[in-house]
Structure 1
Amino acid sequence: MVGPRKGAFAEESAEVEVLFANMEKMKGLTKKIQASKNRLETSGKVVEEAIGPIYSNTQKLQIANSNIDRVIEAIERLRAPLDQTNREESIIKRGLKKTDLRDYIASLDRTNLALQDLRRTNIRSNQQAVRELSDLVKYGTKQLEDAFRDILRDSCRQTFDALEYVAKNNPFPLIAEDKLSTLRLINTHISNSFTQISQTDTRETPTQRIYAETRGDYLTNALRNLSTASVSTARKLTADALYKPGQNGISTYAQGMEGLFVAEYDNITAIFPRDEWTAVCNSTCGAPLGDFNKTLRELNGHIQRNLMTDCFLGYEIVGIVTRLSIRLEQKVSALKRPIYDSVKPIRETSKASLSKLLDDTRTRVQTLVALPMDGASVPVTTTTMTRLQEMTNYLEPLSSILASLGDGGWSSGPTNSSSSSLPMDVGPDAMKLFEHYASDTVDTLIQNLESKAKMLLKTKSLQGVFMSNNVAIVERMIRSSELAPLMETYSQKKLERWKKTSSAAYLDAWREPSGHLLDVQYTNRKERPHSGGAGTTDSVAIVKGLSSKDKDAIKEKFKSFNASFDELVARHKTFKMEREVRAHLGKEVQTIIEPLYGRFWDRYHEIDKGKGKYVKYSKVELGQVLAGLS
């Protein structure tokens, strides 16, 4: 057992020895590696110290190279505007005559873009280039503005008179379509670039200003003859002649202005963008509207100086201008208010005229120092009714004027009341106001005539004839004109009362002969006088039954009747009566006298036994005389 054990230990001991021997080798190798590492580190430091400066220089070179590239790029950017200026300047300086318009505008657009880029960079070195590009843009824009103006002037070159187009009812001329296209193109560019080169905060672009000046003068010249004609046709040839509808040229003036403004608005909408239409239209039409205002002021002065005869011109102008403003509201809404406002002075004059016409009627009557002794009417009646008749030609504008005054407002004089949008419809309410005004006018006339008649005419019969004549003229002039339906109520009520009052005043004188035909009948007598017609009355028996005293009384009644009747008949024939007045009053006399005389004659005509000494008229003869009064 010992032997094998020793053999095993010997083998393990040999392996241990081998292991130790390997470990010693490893230690030696490790030392060598460590020594080599130390040498390598020492060599690396030497290399690092040698290469470090070279690497640093390389980085600096790279940075420098990058900076050089950036500088080159900056230089290129600095040179670009100059190159741009040089390229575009050659196009722009050649001018529009040698360059197509679209190419010219495209060059200006590129210049504008370059100018915008430079301004955004905000580099000081670019300021010179900014100035040069700005000058170039201004120069090019100025060339476009001149071209814009030249095209407009060319469109205005033909002599133009609006009267010719109104008279022939022709459409008003427009700018040619090719010119509109060019103007639109130029305006678009100038409007877009205007904000970039403008140093002031203004809303009016150069093209707007040029258009307004050029076309505004054109419109003003086209309307000048119409303006002159409106003033000249207002001059009066006869001082007291009433103005008649259409005598003045204002209607033609308004038509011409409307046609021109509508055509011009079509031009404007074809050239300018929508948000500029109103501004351009107002500025373009400003000059001709100024002339229109001036013309209306002159006409207003003329109306004020001749108010009693030419207030009707004022009514006509109010109607014409108000209707014009309403029509333009649908076509050129921007001009509605300026045109409507232009007639305000004449509207105020027209409002004042209504009370002044009443005052004039009252004054004309009150200042009469004498009345016709034949009972004839006075001219103021015809004058007053003629005015009312004339007013029916202007019911449309008068309706708005009366509405602004209010019912009865014409009696208190002119007021400051006004409406920004007065109605133009001639409705029932407006007609009621006119009926009230016309009724007040007739009442003022007749009441003052009655007072003056009582003051200046001695007898009631003469007063009655005078008033009947004037009332008849009033009634006739109402019935024969457009006043008839408007004053129907007045005619049926108030005027009819005036007629009855006037007739009663005239018939007062006929009470005297009527009184002579009245006799006393005694009912307690046995032979009572008979009454009734000729067939039932026995004049012989009645006369025979009278006492001598009664017979003398009857004879005296016949004599008194004859004298009074003949005098009134003669006086009746001396009165100057209107045809309908003579017929009416004659019939009224006949209605009163004929039945009374017939009864009296039937009873007592045998008083003079047919000799005619006391009984001057038979019933037939008296009827003929009475019939001759009508």
Structure 2
Amino acid sequence: MDDEAAEIELLEQNLNKTRQISQKMTAILSSFDNRLVKLEKAILPLYASTQLLTRRASNIDSVLGKIEEVASNRDGIATEEALILRGPQPGQLETYKEALERLNAGIAFKSSEEDTSQAARIVETGAAKVTQLYTKLVAESSAGSPPGDPEFTFTPFDPSLRVQLAPIVAFLRTLPLPATHPNHPAALAIQSTLRDAQRGYGEMRGNWSRKCLESHAKRILDRSENVDGVLAGREIGAWAQNMLTVAKEEYNLLSDLAPIPTSSLVATTFSSLITPLISLFKSTLSSLNTSLKRNLQKHIFLALSTYTSLSESESHWEDLMCRRAGRRENELKDALSSLRSVCLRSFPELIANIKAGAVGKGGEPNTNVADFVTSTVEFLERVPEVKTAVGSALLKLGDGNWKMGEGITVPKTARLGEGDEDLILENFIFDVVSTTVASLVTLSRSQRRPAFGSIFLLNNISYLRTHLLIQPINGVDALLSSQGRELLNSNFRTAKANYMDANLSPLLTALAEDKDKSKSSVKEKFMRFFDLLDELVERHTTAVVLPGDLEADERETVCQEVALLVVPLFQRFVQKNPGKDFSRNPQKYIKLSATEVEARLKSIYS
């Protein structure tokens, strides 16, 4: 127990010592803390003063840096401005482009209003300088004299100028515009400059294109008065195709060289470009129409051929000159309508002219082919070359209306429409042929001497039948209906019968048997026969039967038929009346033998 008490007492002593030591340490630390507080209070004003000085020093450094940078920028803008004002120099377009790009970059990333305004002004000037170079090169390509070749030759854009323009156009398309750079201060001015340049491009190229086509327009108008109408019409159609070729090439070129290649502005520029071409087209067709109306019958195939040729360009014109240019007007459609109106007049006029051929021509006619017959045949022979135009125009006119209301009523159920061109063409040609035949019959009957009238009718009907049916050209026979063929054949047979009756009946009647068989009667018959034979031969020396080379076969047929009619009858009469039975001198009355009579008859048709 004593030991434990001793240990407890020892522990208490140690604890007291530890407590004393702790109290001393706490006192020391409290004193140190008080000293630190006093030190902090002493140092704090110095620290605050030092921070302020450091901040002021940093601000001074920043201001000096800004001043140096602004001074540097001022020098850079001045340098760029000098370069821009000189304009793009040969071979230095890339340098010029880079200078403008630096200025644009400065505008995009710097906030100084003064610098931005100055840079924008310089960029606007630079854009104008490049645009001027663009306009200058376009003007060079659109100046001078057009090719003087009589035939149209397409003149492409100068390849060397196009090579020069390509990088310029590429650069112009990168310039800031309101659509791409809405906040760029020069965007509106640059857009206005480029629009003006593009409008100028359209005007220059349009006027140049017109110059290239104008001389050819004058040439085809001059030729249309002298060359074949169908050929002239095709030349006009080819000229219109050349115009479309030029317009298409210019559209493609515009798409490549337009500074602002938006579809709407390209369409507007292209519309401006083709305006001189359309003006030339309208004036050319107007002059042509005036010429057609002045002498329609002479130029009818010119009108029909022109209509056919121009019709082939309808879809191309609609696509190129209307849709791509954003235009509603269709000048080709208007021209076709005007031409068709002219063509519509020609068909009733043709019928009227044929009818007029039988009016006021009394007396002994010229037995040659009548002028209105040859002109009618020439007309019909040319129809297959312009078949489409004729069929279309006739449908527009209306079936039978070419007869100008001669009491003809076409039932509504029988009216023809699209797809009936061949049928209405057959109807028209039948009416032309039947009117021609009727006029010929009227003319032949109006003559005082039927023999000459019959020769006239035979020659003319044969001419019609030969050229339209027997030996046609251009396939005109395919346009004849079965009714038309029968009309020609039946009238030819009738005309030939009339010819035989009017010219041979007196000759045959002279040898006819009668009740008087006296010698004097026989003598009189022989004398009358040979007098009539002489008259017949003399008549045919001035009135040639079937004179054309194409009618040679028919002429030979008529010759054989005449010989078969006259010679056998003459032989029988001679056999029945031997010379010794009625005269001591029969050679006085029987002047020719049967063989000689036949030879004399055949000489008429040789």
TM-score of the superposed pair, with normalisation by structure 1: 0.69
Structure 2 gap segments, 5+ residues each: 179-185, 403-418
Corresponding residue for 2:577?
605
Deviations 1:272-311 (CA, angstroms, capped at 9, x unpaired) = 6996797566654543453243223222222232222123
Matched, 1:147 2:133: yes
Corresponding residue for 2:181?
none
Corresponding residue for 1:307?
296
Corresponding residue for 1:452?
442
The letter of the residue matching 1:291 is: L
Deviations 1:172-228 (CA, angstroms, capped at 9, x unpaired) = 465252x33322222222222162544288897454334333343334344443344
Corresponding residue for 2:461?
471
Cα pair 2:364 2:448 within 8 Å, conserved: no
The letter of the residue matching 1:369 is: G
Structure-2 separation of matches of 1:460 and 1:288: 62
The letter of the residue matching 1:214 is: M
From 361, 372, 376, the equivalent of 1:370 is 361
Distance change in 2, residues 1:315/1:62 (3 Å): farther
Q: Secondary structure of 2:286's partner?
A: helix
From 11, 16, 23, the equivalent of 1:19 is 11
Cα pair 1:374 1:575 within 8 Å, conserved: no
Distance change in 2, residues 1:286/1:407 (3 Å): closer
Cα pair 2:434 2:487 within 8 Å, conserved: no
Structure-2 separation of matches of 1:403 and 1:503: 34
Structure-1 separation of matches of 2:479 and 2:311: 31
Distance change in 2, residues 1:455/1:507 (3 Å): closer
Corresponding residue for 1:498?
491
Structure-1 separation of matches of 2:420 and 2:100: 63
Deviations 1:364-397 (CA, angstroms, capped at 9, x unpaired) = 23232225624624211112223344556xx2xx
Q: Secondary structure of 1:192's partner?
A: coil
Q: Secondary structure of 2:231's partner?
A: coil
Structure-2 separation of matches of 1:587 and 1:486: 30
Shift of 1:18: 0.6
The letter of the residue matching 2:360 is: V
Distance change in 2, residues 1:288/1:407 (3 Å): closer
Corresponding residue for 1:570?
535
Structure 1 gap segments, 5+ residues each: 1-8, 415-428, 520-548
Corresponding residue for 1:29?
21
Q: Secondary structure of 1:195's partner?
A: coil
From 162, 183, 193, the equivalent of 2:147 is 162
* Aligned residue pairs, count: 559
Corresponding residue for 1:135?
121
Corresponding residue for 2:199?
209
Distance change in 2, residues 1:515/1:68 (3 Å): farther
From 208, 221, 239, the equivalent of 1:218 is 208
Cα pair 1:517 1:561 within 8 Å, conserved: yes
Shift of 1:129: 2.9
Shift of 1:64: 7.1
% identical equivalent positions: 19
The letter of the residue matching 1:130 is: T
Cα pair 2:343 2:393 within 8 Å, conserved: no
Matching of residues 342-381 of structure 1 within 5 Å: 343-367=332-356, 368-371=359-362, 373-374=364-365, 376=367, 377-381=369-373
Deviations 1:59-78 (CA, angstroms, capped at 9, x unpaired) = 77777777777777777787
Cα pair 1:468 1:503 within 8 Å, conserved: yes
Cα pair 1:163 1:256 within 8 Å, conserved: no
Distance change in 2, residues 1:355/1:227 (3 Å): closer
Cα pair 1:219 1:288 within 8 Å, conserved: yes
The letter of the residue matching 1:160 is: S
Structure-2 separation of matches of 1:401 and 1:489: 14
Structure-1 separation of matches of 2:436 and 2:120: 83
Cα pair 2:274 2:321 within 8 Å, conserved: no
Structure-2 separation of matches of 1:73 and 1:404: 87
Cα pair 1:105 1:189 within 8 Å, conserved: yes
Instruction: Give the CA RMSD over aligned residues.
Output: 5.3
Deviations 1:392-418 (CA, angstroms, capped at 9, x unpaired) = 6xx2xx24424644779675669xxxx
Cα pair 2:220 2:236 within 8 Å, conserved: yes
Shift of 1:314: 3.3
Structure-2 separation of matches of 1:508 and 1:33: 174
Structure-2 separation of matches of 1:16 and 1:390: 154
Matched, 1:189 2:171: yes
Shift of 1:142: 1.9
Corresponding residue for 1:87?
79
Cα pair 2:234 2:305 within 8 Å, conserved: no
Deviations 1:18-67 (CA, angstroms, capped at 9, x unpaired) = 11112222333344445455556655665666666766777777777777
Structure-2 separation of matches of 1:406 and 1:249: 24
Shift of 1:434: 11
Cα pair 1:586 1:626 within 8 Å, conserved: yes
Cα pair 1:582 1:629 within 8 Å, conserved: no
Bigger mean CA deviation after superposition, 615-624 or 26-35: 615-624
The letter of the residue matching 1:106 is: E
Distance change in 2, residues 1:403/1:620 (3 Å): closer
The letter of the residue matching 1:136 is: I
Bigger mean CA deviation after superposition, 221-230 or 550-559: 550-559
Shift of 1:89: 0.4
The letter of the residue matching 2:124 is: K
Structure-2 separation of matches of 1:80 and 1:506: 117
Matching of residues 175-324 of structure 1 within 5 Å: 175-177=158-160, 179-193=161-175, 195=177, 197-199=186-188, 205-234=195-224, 243=229, 245=231, 271=257, 283-318=272-307
TM-score of the superposed pair, with normalisation by structure 2: 0.71
Distance change in 2, residues 1:161/1:484 (3 Å): closer
Q: Secondary structure of 1:483's partner?
A: coil
Deviations 1:408-435 (CA, angstroms, capped at 9, x unpaired) = 9675669xxxxxxxxxxxxxx9996897
Corresponding residue for 2:389?
401
Shift of 1:135: 1.8
